[in-house]
Structure 1
Amino acid sequence: MGSRTIAGARLSNSYTVTATLIAVNVVIFLITVIQAKSLFDNNLALLQVRLYLQPVLTLGAGEWWRVFTSGFLHYGPIHIAANAFSLWMIGRALEQVFGKIRYLALYFVSMLGASTAVLLFGDGTPTVGASGAIFGLLGSYAVITLKLRLNPTALLINLVINAYITFSIPGISIWAHVGGLVTGALVTAAMLYAPARNLVRWQAIGTAVVAIALVGLIGWRATEFPSLDCSPQLVQGDYKYFCKSSGSS
């Protein structure tokens, strides 16, 4: 059967998933730059406002795709560069530990967890960025460090740096980072501590339980929002959303 990692994946030096995720983020960022005709004000792009995460639009207007599409948007070149660098540094190692399928599950369920935290506790400000999922990878790294009793120095340095950025720079979604971190740790625990017999099945069940719980929380939160029809309109060079009750004419 060949050698396996602690997560049950085949040993491999591949990091194609990480490279692909970075490439998708960069391509979408460039599209928003072209639409906005600005490298630094790409939040003026229609694609940006159609895909960012915002509670009223996501839960009230039923635009559920924003839970995931927001994780591929960024505000400006520094934002995309920082997240691409973090994903490259952390993601490659975790892709080798988990393999492609488990790694993708970890990444997207962490993104779901980050969006869930924003929808539950956020202040309504539009949220974008891959950092929620990246914090999920940090949470995963923490569980692996504890499981293997590794030297935690590198982990602590990463956590301190990211915590400083999270709490010191205005506009960064603290809830997205917290949600991603916790979710990534839970998914990794479900994978690493699954029974050895029928390992893949138990890993899938554990990951699914986390994902279903998050979807349930979003669904519960959605019951607090009225049903709306919303559309963006360009007002003095900036897009604004106008909403009305879906029952009104």
Structure 2
Amino acid sequence: MSDALVPPDGPVGAQPETPVCARHSDRPTRLRCTRCERPACPDCLRDAAVGMQCVDCVNEGQRSVRRARTLVGAEVSNGRAIITPVLIALNVLAYVVTVFQSGSPMNNDRSGLFTATSMIPELTAQGEWWRILTSGFMHFGLIHLALNMAVLYVVGQHVEQELGKLRFSAVYFLSLLGGSAAAFYFGTVCQELAGASGAVFGLMGALLIVWKRKRRDISTIVVVVAINLVSNLFTNASLLGHLGGFVIGGLLALAMVRAPQKNRNLYQIAAMVAAVVLLGGMFALRAGALDTDAEVILEIARTCRPN
């Protein structure tokens, strides 16, 4: 047996035990995170400003960084719009069902689904309140659907990026109800309302306000809105429905962009609640005015409905 001295770290040439990844105990590695200095395998490392950091340090750093926000307080997102294509899909699906039921792409308003969901003031006043919402997903023929969905696709993506998913959804549906409320309150008894136009006009009103606040060019939006409103005078489209949606969408966006940064969410929620109260009051007042004999109301509704 040799009496030669052995170095304290082991014999000369001996290799120390290879450490293992802090997150994967079965993966030996000589790499380390430059922040926490824990061993990490290549799958657990990410490029950083200096060296490489493990995924845990990267996530911790992201949580400590304040996310950029839009003018109304929504988190800035570089991804694709989500709510806009979902709304388009729902409208197209509803149209396909009505076409299947009616057997006609242009006379789909004769389908059972369309009859049960379009907004007829007299039937709505008699308790069929779902019509004020469901009518926004019905369309009179393919052209009506295509025009609304084209505008929704273009405008909706911009508004969703500016407002964020929750605020965008609130503006869309409250604008839809705003169009229904205007047509219901100011319109004739024999008017039948259907289409996403009120909601789409609400999005255009919202985009107009947001871009104006950001000092972007709004001339294109103004021209599109003006052309659509003027065209209402020569078609059967509901001018009241379009105006109602436009006003509600614009006012909500105005409340959002002008809300003080402190308690901004509270102010914006209050604006939405105020819109709900206003629209609910319009529906209630008009329903009270139409509160006559039920049989007469149903007869009027059948007479007014186009064949």
Give the TM-score normalised by the residue count of structure 1.
Answer: 0.89
Aligned to 2:271: 206
Of residues 160, 163, 167 in structure 1, which corresponds to 2:233? Answer: 167
What is the aligned partner in structure 2 of residue 218 from structure 1?
283
Unaligned runs of 5+ in 1: 234-239, 243-249
Equivalent pair of 1:57/1:230 in contact (CA under 8 Å): no
- Aligned to 1:179, what secondary structure does the other structure show? helix
Q: Once the 2 structures are TM-superposed, how far is the Cα of residue 175 of structure 1 from its aligned partner?
A: 0.3
Q: Which amino acid in the other structure matches residue 230 of structure 2?
A: Y
Please state how far the C-alpha of 1:100 moved relative to its aligned partner: 0.6
Paired with 1:232 and 1:213, the residues of 2 have a C-alpha distance of 27
* 78 and 112 in structure 1: CA distance in 2 versus 1, 3 angstrom threshold: same
Structure 2 CA distance, aligned partners of 1:70 and 1:200? Answer: 30
Q: Which moved more, 1:80-89 or 1:10-19?
A: 10-19
> Does residue 139 in structure 1 map to residue 205 in structure 2?
yes
- Cα distance between partner residues in 2 of 1:167 and 1:225: 27
Residue 188, structure 1, aligned to residue 253, structure 2 = yes
| Distance in 2 of aligned mates of 1:130 and 1:20 | 14
- Corresponding residue for 1:152? 218
Task: Write the distance in 1 (CA, Å) between the matches of 2:75 and 2:232.
Answer: 35
User: Which residue number in structure 2 is paired with residue 14 of structure 1?
Assistant: 80
- Aligned position for 2:181: 116
Structure 2, unmatched stretches of 5+, are: 1-65
Per the TM alignment, residue 103 of structure 1 is displaced from its structure 2 partner at its CA by 0.3
**Higher RCO (C-alpha 8 Å, min separation 6):** 1
CA RMSD of aligned residues (A): 1.9
Mark the CA change 1:232 to 1:219 in structure 2 (over 3 Å): closer, same or farther.
closer
Query: Residue 205 of structure 2 aligns to which amino acid in structure 1?
Result: G
The answer on 1:105 being equivalent to 2:188 is: no
TM-score of the superposed pair, with normalisation by structure 2? 0.73
1:24-70 CA-to-partner distances (Å, cap 9, x unmatched) read 000000000011011111011011010011110111x2111111100
Match of 1:117, SS state, is helix
State the SS of the aligned residue for 1:223: helix
Do the aligned residues in 2 keep the contact of 1:72 with 1:128 (CA within 8 Å)?
yes
- Between the two proteins, what is the percent identity of the paired residues? 35
Q: 1:44 to 1:18 in 2, by over 3 A?
A: same
Q: 2: distance between equivalents of 1:225 and 1:217?
A: 12
- The DSSP-based 3-state class of the residue aligned with 2:289 is coil
The one-letter amino acid paired with 1:153 is: S
Q: Secondary structure at the match of 1:111?
A: helix
CA contact (8 A) 2:122 2:297 kept: no
Q: Is the 8 A contact 2:182 2:244 kept in 1?
A: yes
Aligned residues: 234
Counterparts of 1:232 and 1:223 in 2: how far apart (Å)? 16
Q: Which residue of 2 aligns with 1:53?
A: 119
